[in-house]
Amino acid sequence: MDFNSLNTLQRNRLNLKLKPIFVGQLFIIESLNHPAFYYNQKEFELILHPEEGITSDFITDYAKSFSSEIFIYEEDYQEINLKLKEELTKLTRSLSIGDVRKNAIKHTNFLSMQMDTLYKDPFNDELLTNQFQNTKNLSNLLTKHKDIHKPIYQNIIQSRYHYTYKQPLLSSILLLSFIQSLKLFNEKEIEGIFLTSYFKDIGMSFIPREKFEEAHLSDFDKQLFANHAQNSMEILEGRVPLSLNQLNLIKNHHYLNYKIQALVTNKQVPHMDEYLTGIESVLLSSIDILVAMTTDRPYRKAVSSFKALELLKHVISDEYPQEYKALVLFLKNFLMK
């Protein structure tokens, strides 16, 4: 296809034919069958011809100079997703062979890319099942190799993925590492908590992408965000092997946020019993808040681990003093060194 030969109407209709993907996903294939575009001020600009090969330099330069997203045709989009699924399956079979740390980093990169696709198509059963199984395999690897938790976490922090894809991995890895240190849960329970944490935000897929960049939201937009936990539970229920208790954890994973909001606004703390499903509720919610606060967002900078812990102290230390102390000691080794 010669882009220069397209008339104005054909160019305006490109938005019906193109799909955005994370530019890093291009490395999974050698070349595209159609042109790729950059979306700039409501217009598509040709950025890559199909006959041009895809190089790591192109991907790096594009990400630095233009955007983390690039627009490609549906045919290329489907080819990349199929290739990604194949690579994940292949890697899963050999995660424990050779350099485990390198394998795990590659695996988390692939998972983040696939999550991007899943958020665009959350009711695709095949895609969800594949992501669930690959996440389960990652959990098993992390449980057996404690020494790789921190380097994998740091690698994700430094990556260019959108924070909506980084947050599930970061919070789940940190949560797994912390609950392992507590020695309160067996391997099967740890796996269940990890999977629950990882998929708890899939309801975010209902929220328009541009809303994640905004510091000030309308009341309607705030309600969209407030509903994401309930939406996550409804998306997952009956489609993946999560128990009712785990689905309730997902539905109520922001329960500590309610306590924080009440604290900040000097309002009465809501009755918490309906939100709790055991110590897992406290741990999952605490780690989710901590990771969110200590990582950057487009509309704000990250705060220190110390400040995040000070906030959490006000809402969990009275009821769970031992767990709070354990969290402080754990983070000194994991995040603060």
Q: Are strands 69-73 and 43-48 parallel, antiparallel or unpaired?
A: unpaired
Helix (H, G, I), strand (E, B) or coil at 47: strand
In the chain, what are the helix, strand and coil shares in percent, each to the nearest 5?
65, 5, 25
Report yes or no on whether pTM surpasses 0.75: yes
* Residues 6 or more apart in contact with residue 38 via CB below 8 angstroms: 44, 45, 47, 62, 66, 67, 70, 71
Residues 124-136: tens digit of each pLDDT: 999 999 999 999 9
pLDDT at 147: 95
pLDDT at 181: 96
Mean pLDDT per block of 10 residues along the chain (337 residues) reads 48 73 91 91 86 91 91 94 93 90 95 92 96 96 96 93 92 98 95 98 91 89 91 97 94 85 71 66 94 91 93 90 95 81
* Cα torsion angle, 253, 255, 260, 261, sign: positive
pLDDT at 229: 94
Helices (H), 200-240: 219-226, 228-236
pLDDT at 10: 52
Q: Structural domains in the chain?
A: 1-93 (no CATH), 100-334 (1.10.3210.10)
